[in-house]
Amino acid sequence: MSFGLGHGVPLDPAPGVVAISADELPPLPDSIISDPESGRLDPRAWFKEPGNRFELEIGSGKGAFLVQQADLEPNTNFLGIEWAGEFAAYTSDRIRRRQENANTHRNVRVMHSDAAQFLQWRCPDNIIDVLHLYFSDPWPKTKHHKKRVIQHQTMFDIWRCLKPGGELRVVTDHDDLWAWDEAHFEHWASDKNASEPTLAGPKIPEAPAKVRAFLDAREALPYERTSFAAPESAGEHELVGTNFERKFRKEGRSFNAGVLRKTGGTAN
Ligand SMILES: C[S@@+](CC[C@H](N)C(=O)[O-])C[C@H]1O[C@@H](n2cnc3c(N)ncnc32)[C@H](O)[C@@H]1O
């Protein structure tokens, strides 16, 4: 199905320049079966200035947040991960044109992929300063809840990939999704034992065995809750200023926002 995002003009995602190319992200090696870490590679190497701050957006959609914020922060590298191919191509094309016309946005790359899979199998430990998750798909039917981005496995992988002091920033308009997110956050940012059921809110799946063992063995809380502060690019009365926020705001919807900070340090 095409969304017609190119309006009849072919999109050019500029692989290797904006879109992450197959050379930059080769297939997972067979050794992944015996060595789950053998597929790791450092995404910061995909940028011209690999030593800069590194932020990642899950579900970058049409790229409004990336375009706005990367313009204000040229010394931060931004990677947008988007699993809908046409949206990934649209955002890449948008960035490519800015690079060619104004020589800006050299600090943005876009990957067409499932971000949860990328975090679990590819991303090394302690490299991300901020992970942005805005207006994530709510998948309202129970049989689809497993497709929601926030799961115990993803909470573990986000924790592992964030630098100490790094942040997961979340905004959603969807109350059921927020309750689901909060039920997970309770296990990661409060003293609740991983095996204890959540008292209020929805029933959520148990953590996979390895993640549960991590939660049960931990000596300190993996994350601490902190309040959400709008990024510089957000407009007046906006939390972030993404396409979905602007659309939903016109419809009069209300939003929930929160931040989890990885404990054990301060990212800079
Ligand atoms: C509702 S849209 C929001 C887009 C944008 N963040 C905004 O606020 O305008 C959610 C986007 O997340 C993408 N998405 C959902 N799950 C994803 C995943 N696991 N990895 C990457 N992208 C994902 C969807 O394809 C969709 O484009």
* pTM attached to this predicted model: 0.95
pLDDT beyond 90 at 89:
yes
pLDDT of residue 116: 98
Tell me what pLDDT residue 5 has: 87
Question: For residue 218, what pLDDT is reported?
Answer: 87
Mutational pocket test of ligand 1: of 20, 90, 112, 136, the residue with most ligand atoms within 8 Å of the beta carbon: 136
Nearest atom in ligand 1 to the alpha carbon of residue 116 is 19
- Whole-number mean pLDDT of the chain? 94
Q: How many Å apart are CA 62 and CA 245, to the nearest integer? A: 12
**Residue 101 pLDDT grade (very low, low, confident, very high; cuts 50, 70, 90):** very high
CA 138 – CA 257 distance, rounded (Å)? 15
Q: What is the mean pLDDT of residues 212-226?
A: 93
- The gap between the terminal CA atoms of the chain, to the nearest Å, is 42
Question: Is the confidence at residue 114, as pLDDT, over 70?
Answer: yes
**For residue 267, what pLDDT is reported?**
53
Q: Where are the beta strands (DSSP E) in 86-158?
A: 108-112, 128-134
pLDDT of residue 264: 84
Within 6 Å (CB) of ligand 1, which residues are found?
58-61, 81-84, 87, 114-116, 134-137, 149, 242-245
Q: Is 114-262 assigned to CATH 3.40.630?
A: no
Residue nearest to atom 5 of ligand 1 (CA): 61
Report the distance separating Cα 243 and Cα 61, nearest Å: 8
Q: How far is CA 166 from the centre of its chain?
A: 13
Catalytic residue set: 137
Cβ(54)–Cβ(76) under 8 Å? yes
82 CA to centre of ligand 1 in angstroms: 6
Banded model confidence at residue 80, pLDDT cuts 50, 70, 90: very high
- Cα–Cα distance for residue pair 40/51, rounded to 1 Å: 18
Q: Which residue's CA is the closest to the ligand 1 atom numbered 27? A: 61
